[in-house]
Amino acid sequence: MTQSHDLSSTIEALVRPGKGILAADESGPTIAKRFTAIGVESTPENRRAYRSLLLSTPGLGEFVSGVILYEETLGQCKEDGEPLPALAARQGIVPGIKVDTGKGPLALAPGDEITQGLDGLPARLRAYVKLGARFAKWRAVYNVSDSLPSRGAVEANAESLARYAAICQTEGVVPIVEPEVLIDGDHSQARCAAVTQEVLLEVFRALHRHRVALEHMLLKPSMVVPGKAHVRQAGPGDVADETLRVLRRTVPAAVPGIVFLSGGQSPVEATVNLDAINRLAPQPWRLSFSYGRALQDPVLQAWRGQPDQVQAPQAALLKRARLNALASLGRYDAEQEDSP
């Protein structure tokens, strides 16, 4: 089997109609914050139990095609000894892995940040593949203000994303390219659109420079929304119109799928906006979801670290996965929120 065939088969599995990706790749500090909010200590055992609960949800593979895991999770097992990546694969869910090592300040550009993790990436990818990973994810973040992000931050993060994607494809791993324009701040939707357009144009310039095969990657962008502190929030129709306008200007049709991040939207907002996007005229890409908090927040509230609480949190995950699967087809109805 050729490497190109491996990449094609992974892409085909990830972009199946009516399915999306579960982002369960929270880093140690991030999952600790989520656990603290529900009164749970972030121990290896609690993290293993929680992520095992997610991946063992009966029927999850009907609505979820892939799961992004954290490095710790990739090597963990259920209580019966089954590796968690194998548990996902048994449900028909493709295991993936977050490979960046976090973000830090960009030198000489106050307020801007750069993502790190390229050092040693080829060797790490080979180890992840042996543990079952078939795709990877790298997140770049862009703070927004009247002056941010700087041109330097746009170019530096695009270069890192492209280098990561090229390394992944060389190792037979499908890259998810995630340039997140942050929702924090009081910027307008128009400002978000301008930044998103600049970012995506630079990302695809860099991908072309590094000869990344667009047919063998996925894009994970943020939707075009105002900052959460802006006085005027956008309705689903405006989010859909502006998001698609920017994507049509910047994303080549060769990209097989765009899986949106929820980026601080509430679970319902993320579903409603995804549905509005998919109700517009057919686009050249499959448009779906790669949500973390928008899928997991109801699960955490139902679980709260209680070992005997399994059915309720799994039902919460399955419901949000099902509703977002419907939204990815433009078939969501708000009345469905009241059904189990």
**Tokens describing residue 189:** 């939707």
Give the C-alpha separation, 20 to 198, whole Å.
26
Q: CA 325 → CA 174, 270, 329, distances in Å?
A: 22, 12, 7
**Closest listed residue to residue 26, CA positions, set 39, 17, 18, 35:** 35
Which is catalytic among the residues 71, 113, 178, 198? 178
Which is catalytic among the residues 19, 98, 220, 319? 220
CA atoms within 13 A on the CB side of 60: 27
Q: Count of CB atoms within 10 A of residue 127's CB?
A: 14
Helix (H) or strand (E) holding 326: helix 311-327
**Tokens describing residue 301:** 């509230």
Render each residue's pLDDT in the chain as its tens digit; 340 residues.
Answer: 456 669 999 999 999 999 999 999 999 999 999 999 999 999 999 999 999 999 999 999 999 999 999 999 999 999 899 999 999 999 999 999 999 999 999 987 789 999 999 999 999 999 999 999 999 999 999 999 999 999 999 999 999 999 999 999 999 999 999 999 999 999 999 999 999 999 999 999 999 999 999 999 999 999 999 999 999 999 999 999 999 999 999 999 999 999 999 999 999 999 999 999 999 989 999 999 999 999 999 999 999 999 889 999 999 999 999 999 999 999 999 998 987 7
The phi, psi pair for 244, rounded to 5°, reads: -70, -35
Domains of the chain, start order: 3-338 (3.20.20.70)
220 assigned to active site: yes
For 192, the 3-state DSSP assignment is helix
Q: Which residues, other chains included, contact 42 with Cβ-Cβ below 8 Å and sequence gap of 6+? A: 28, 31, 32, 35, 36
Phi-psi region of 233 (alpha: psi -120 to 50; beta: other; left: phi over 0): beta
98 assigned to active site: no
CA diameter of the chain: 55
Q: Count of CB atoms within 10 A of residue 310's CB?
A: 16
